[in-house]
Structures are given as C-alpha cells and as structure tokens.
Amino acid sequence: MRLFTRAVLIAVVAYLGVVGALFAMQRSLQYPAVHRITDVVEAQLPGFEDVVIETEDGERLRGFWKAPEQGRVLTLYFHGNGGSLWNRRNRARALGEEGRGVLIVSYRGYSGSTGSPTEAGLHRDARAAFHFATERVEPQRILVYGESLGTGVATRLAAENEIGALVLDAPFTSAVDIAAVLHPFAPLRYLMLDQFRSIDVIGDVRAPILIMHGDADLVVPFSQGEALFAAAPEPKRFVRFAGAGHVSLLEDSGLLLVRAMQDALERGEAEDVFAAFPPEG
C-alpha cells in the first residue's frame, strides 16, 4: 500500500511538473518568433518600401508596403506564428502584382519589431497596421488576409472594422482548441493565456469571407476550418484543397481565388465577390 501511495504521489508530481512547464513556456511555444531582419532590397520587392509603424502602446513594427495604383485594392497580410517578412516575401510579391497594394507587418518581437508577442499585443499590431492602411486606402478596398495564427488576428480585426473582404488561410476555431489536440492531458482551457477565440467573433464580420483549408493539414485540423465556416455569416465560401497541408494553399491555386475577389472589389461588386469561383461541391 505504501509503495502504491508513493507511486501515485510521484505520478502526480510528474504530471504537475509537466503542466507547470507548459504553462511557464507557453508563449515561447506559441510564438517561435523569427528574428531575421530583412528589407525590400534583399527581398527583391520592386515597388515596395520599408516602413515602421508605431502601435498604440509604443511598439515599432517593421513592414513592407506597396501603395496600390488608382482603383486597385490593398491586401493587408497577417502571417503565421513561424512566419516573417522574409519567408512571406514571395506572397507579398504575388499579391501586389498588376498594380495592387500590399501591407505586411512583422508582429512585435518578430523580425526586428520591438516588444514581445501576446494575443493582446498582436491585436494592437493589427489595429496599427489597419490604421496605417486606412489613412491611404478606403476600408472597402482592403482585403484582409490571415494565415494560420494570423487568422486569429485577421478575424478579430475584421469583426471590429469595415473591410472589403476577409481571407482565412488554414484557420482554427481557437488556438486553445489546437493546443488541446496536441496536449489532451493538460487543462489548457483554464491555463492558456492567448486563446485567439475566432469562433466567438467571426459572427460579427460584415464582409465576404473565404476560408481555405487543406484536408491533409497536420497543424490545424481540417475540421476546425469547417467548424469556423459553419459559424461564419454570409456571404462566405469554403474551399477544400484535396491532399494539401498547412502552408501552401495560396500557391496551390489559392492565389487565383484571391485575385477573383480582388477583381470584384475593384469593380465595386463586393456582393458578388464569389461570382467567378467554381461551383460549390
């Protein structure tokens, strides 16, 4: 009996140690920030310029900016938790083709931006980027694009502001839902600080929503994209990428869908933003 009690105590202490370590390390796990600093010259982005945007709490965000030509839309891009200006330079170039504008910022603590990442901080970063954009472009001509972690940032921004359209690339219902899949033994719903609960705010979005998800995504379960879509208001469209994983949907024909949306916004036809899409099903 004494041996059993001792074994139980050891197991409890070990469990509490693991849970405690997860709690203490959660932000370093959630935000594996890329620190590489680059600029538009190294990134080979003609027509772009380096910008620094100050947030409401005094942080300074590095970003790439390309002003749209007359009548063209602007894509405001929020990268994933392992993203950076450098590894999303090709997406910036593609989204800015044909005279279209792009603003992509590096979150606080990433790629030369000051501060440390938190959920509240990333939402402040998004508001600062949006303010920068709307000083130069009408909100109805801004397409907000979020990728992975950036979908949590983009969804709340879209829920709180008038925009032209919202694109969610491999989105989750909430970050804590992903964490619960990875660590089912831990009570993360009570311990996780930065939960990015997109499922709770997507109903407030008043713009067309495109959700793209690969059915072989090993990072964010495909079912989470489906659940977020079910909670989203119309107009909306869900596009399944057969056999696709987590990080290449834009390159796997997603760019054609985004360009169709850009075209519709430029014609002033936001209500028909999915008109050029293939039939559903």
- At residue 5, the pLDDT reads 65
Peptide bond into 235 cis (omega under 30): yes
Say if residue 232's pLDDT is above 90.
yes
- Please indicate, yes or no, whether the overall pTM of this predicted structure exceeds 0.95: no
With both helix axes pointing from N to C terminus, report the angle between 149-160 and 119-134 in degrees, rounded to the nearest 10. 60
Closest C-alpha among 164, 182, 76 to residue 128: 76
Q: Where are the alpha helices (DSSP H) in the chain?
A: 2-30, 89-95, 119-134, 149-160, 175-182, 188-191, 198-201, 222-231, 255-266
In a domain, 110, yes or no: yes
- At residue 228, the pLDDT reads 98
On whether both 6 and 139 belong to a single domain, the answer is: no
d(CA 56, CA 53): 10
In a domain, 279, yes or no: no
In a domain, 281, yes or no: no
Structure tokens that stand for 113 in this block: 């931006």
Say if residue 154's pLDDT is above 80.
yes
On whether both 91 and 70 belong to a single domain, the answer is: yes
On whether both 21 and 122 belong to a single domain, the answer is: no
d(CA 6, CA 192): 30
173 vs 270, more confident = 173
Structure tokens that stand for 52 in this block: 């620094």
- At residue 264, the pLDDT reads 95
Per-residue pLDDT band for 168 (boundaries 50, 70, 90) equals very high
In a domain, 278, yes or no: no
- At residue 180, the pLDDT reads 81
Residue 50: strand, helix, or coil: strand
- At residue 226, the pLDDT reads 98
Say if residue 4's pLDDT is above 90.
no
What backbone phi and psi angles, to 5 degrees, belong to 81? Answer: -70, -20
Check if the beta carbon of residue 161 is closer than 8 Å to that of residue 111.
no
In a domain, 93, yes or no: yes
What backbone phi and psi angles, to 5 degrees, belong to 153? Answer: -70, -50
Contacts of 104 (CB under 8 A, 6+ apart): 63, 64, 76, 77, 78, 79, 85, 88, 91, 92
On whether both 70 and 185 belong to a single domain, the answer is: yes
Buried b / exposed e along 252-276 (16+ C-beta atoms within 10 A)? bebbebbbbbbebbbeeebeebbee
Strand-pair category, 142-147 with 74-78: parallel
What value does the mean pLDDT of the chain take?
A: 90
Most confident of 17-21, 25-29, 97-101: 97-101
- At residue 20, the pLDDT reads 58
On whether both 47 and 149 belong to a single domain, the answer is: yes
Per-residue pLDDT band for 9 (boundaries 50, 70, 90) equals low
Buried b / exposed e along 181-192 (16+ C-beta atoms within 10 A)? eeeeebebeeeb
Q: Which of 7-16, 17-26, 62-71, 95-104 has the lowest mean pLDDT?
A: 7-16
In a domain, 280, yes or no: no
- At residue 77, the pLDDT reads 98
Per-residue pLDDT band for 25 (boundaries 50, 70, 90) equals low
On whether both 3 and 69 belong to a single domain, the answer is: no
d(CA 169, CA 225): 9
Q: What is the DSSP letter of 68?
A: P
d(CA 69, CA 148): 29
Domain, as residue range, for 214: 33-272
d(CA 63, CA 82): 16
On whether both 151 and 267 belong to a single domain, the answer is: yes
Averaged over 30-42, what is the pLDDT? Answer: 89
pLDDT single digits (tens) 89-130: 999 999 999 999 999 999 999 999 999 999 999 999 999 999
- At residue 206, the pLDDT reads 97
Q: What is the CATH number of the domain that holds 107?
A: 3.40.50.1820
